[in-house]
Structure formats: C-alpha cells, structure tokens
Amino acid sequence: MSDHDHESTSATEFPREEAWVIHAALLAQIEGMSDADVSAPAELKPLRSLETDQRIEEDSLEIVQDALVNHLPNAPFRDDQLGETALRAVTDELDQDGPSVPL
C-alpha cells in the first residue's frame, strides 16, 4: 500500500504483498457467505480500503483477522509467509491497549 499521510492513526497499513493476501482472504470470506444473506458483508469495508490504497481502519481489524484465520489453511503456498506476517500484525494491533499506531 502507498505511504499516504493520514489524519487518523487508528488504522493499519500493509505492504502490497501482504495486502493482496488479505484481499484474497476477504474475498474468500465473502464468497463463502450464504446467498440468502442480502445485507452488505462487513468484509467490504476493509476490502474497499485495500483496493483504494487506504489504511484498514481499526474497527475492521477483527474482520481481517477472521478472514486470514479462515483463509490461510487453504491459501496458496506463496501466501503462507505473507499471510502469517499480516495475521501477526493484525493480532498485535488488536492486542494493543493504547491508541492504534500505523504499522
């Protein structure tokens, strides 16, 4: 993702390669949802952030974490290390007690 100046520090930014693994995880999560669920899935917010080179907001990090946890066991081999790094960054961010700091 690009190095934009952001007013909010309550967001997380990932290197491009990790962002694509997160992107794949979010898409897989959305595709796995029931067709009967007509409401917009929460995964769209962080997905849109990635697609527009924006930071993922703090309120979307649990969604990203869930998507990565579900995606990584079946992810392509090339995504393993990047996905684990992204998952570790998200988990660390969620575990912080104070205000979120960009990664």
Compute the distance between CA of residue 75 and CA of residue 3 in angstroms, rounded to an integer. Answer: 27
Q: How many residues does the structure list for the chain?
A: 103
Compute the distance between CA of residue 38 and CA of residue 58 in angstroms, rounded to an integer. Answer: 25
The amino acid occupying position 6 is: H
The amino acid occupying position 67 is: A
Q: What is the pLDDT of residues 9-38, one digit of tens each?
A: 346 788 888 888 998 888 888 877 765 566
pLDDT higher than 50, residue 2 = no
pLDDT at 38: 61
pLDDT at 5: 42
Compute the distance between CA of residue 65 and CA of residue 25 in angstroms, rounded to an integer. Answer: 9
Burial of 56 (0-12, 13-18, 19+ CB in 10 A): buried
* pTM for this predicted structure: 0.66
